[in-house]
Structure 1
């Protein structure tokens, strides 16, 4: 599992969602790196892409509504980061479906997902959590 306690931002509902995202991406990475025929791993790739397309949207919408409710001053910038990631996931899913699920491209995706999740949670989401703490706002 790639989830670490240090990734918690101190907002329980969002931490639970982040942990689920990390768990699913970790399962994906483990599945594609295991021994075995690539053809047998394609279902896991498809499942993960479907999950990301759905869950990332749900999580980002939740996080953005929370930020708006709190009057978080950087919510629009945060939303743009989310939109770019959603577009990346959508584009990757379409590319994989059109061109086939080539192992090299999927391995690249796995690294990109891990890096993006860690960097986003450690930087942007921690910044939001710091604002919530400094302002004494409700941690849902």
Structure 2
């Protein structure tokens, strides 16, 4: 499990969504790195891609609506970061569907997912939480 308490931003719904994302990505990484035939792992890759394509939209929409409610000044920048990530996931899903689920490409994606998720939550989302605190806003 890669979720850590230090990743919490103090906004319960968003923290819960983040934890779900971390857990699913961690399960994905663990599944593809275990011993066994690659062909047996492809279903986990497919399931994870479907989950990401659906869940990040739900999560990002919630987070962006929350930011708009707060009048968060970096809302547009945050939205653009989200859009770039969604495009990356869509591109990877299309690449895998078109070219096959090659192990090396999936391993690279797994590393990118982990790095993006940790960096985004620790830097970008914590910045939003800091704004909430500084403004004395209710969570």
Task: Give TM class, smaller chain.
Answer: over 0.9
Structure 1 gaps of 5+ residues are: none
The whole-number CA distance in structure 1 between the counterparts of 2:55 and 2:84 is: 15
Aligned with 1:50: secondary structure?
helix
1:13 and 2:17 aligned: no
The whole-number CA distance in structure 2 between the counterparts of 1:133 and 1:93 is: 37
TM-score w.r.t. structure 2 length? 0.99
| Equivalence for 1:125 | 125
The whole-number CA distance in structure 2 between the counterparts of 1:126 and 1:11 is: 10
Query: Alignment RMSD, CA only?
Result: 0.3
List per-residue Cα deviations over 1:52-106 (Å, max 9, x = no partner): 0000000000000000000000000000000000000000000000000000000
Report how many aligned residue pairs link the two structures. 139
Structure 2 gaps of 5+ residues are: none
| Equivalence for 1:58 | 58
The whole-number CA distance in structure 2 between the counterparts of 1:96 and 1:110 is: 13
Aligned with 2:80: secondary structure?
helix
The whole-number CA distance in structure 2 between the counterparts of 1:109 and 1:53 is: 14
| Equivalence for 1:98 | 98
1:48 and 2:58 aligned: no
Which structure 2 residues correspond to residues 100-119 of structure 1 after superposition, within 5 A?
A: 100-119=100-119
Structure 1: 4+ residue segments shifted above 3 A: none
List per-residue Cα deviations over 1:29-67 (Å, max 9, x = no partner): 000000000000000000000000000000000000000
The whole-number CA distance in structure 1 between the counterparts of 2:30 and 2:73 is: 38
Deviation, 1:138, is 1.8
